Structure 1
């Protein structure tokens, strides 16, 4: 099974997300992509990013408000290839 790719806009980079990553935030940090965060548990919403394409699955439902087209990378993983606006 292919590992999901994380496409970053506007820079165009494509990063892999492996089984070793516990969250999308972990994957972004492993590739040295700077993302603001505080709690790492979906409580504060500081890591909020815009999801342009694809789907993520939350391993823990976030307590922070998540608007349409937004995700909290601290508590989700990509289901398939995704595109994020940074």
Structure 2
């Protein structure tokens, strides 16, 4: 039997990069990193497993599923975090 795959949920994503806001739509079944890359914004990444910390971004507002990927000071590892709501993240280097 051919099972239908459910449509991914979408949420609004605002990414502040170098002081400029970029607005987009994020899919909740993709990582935050994948969603930022889909917006054609440059973001550092290396291991894609939540180990190196190079993809760290600040979660200014919004919720993740699950919350366990929040690290010190409101920062999250974008490669291993998925959004559960509309969100605003700040990418700074």
Give the TM-score of the pair, scaled to structure 2: 0.74
The two structures, once aligned, show a CA RMSD in angstroms of 2.4
1:66 pairs with 2:74 = no
8 A contact 2:13–2:86 mirrored in 1: yes
Q: State which of 5, 10, 13 in structure 2 corresponds to 1:3.
A: 10
Q: CA deviation at 1:2?
A: 6.0
How is 1:6-85 mapped onto 2 (pairs within 5 angstroms)?
6-9=13-16, 10-18=19-27, 22-58=30-66, 66-85=71-90
Count of residues in Structure 1 that have an aligned counterpart in Structure 2: 82
Structure 1: which 4+ aligned runs deviate by more than 3 Å? none
TM-score (norm 1): 0.80
Secondary structure of 2:33's partner?
helix
The structure whose residues are more often strand, as a share, is 2
Say which one has the larger Rg. 2
SS in 2 for 1:6: strand
Is the helix fraction higher in 1 or 2?
Answer: 2
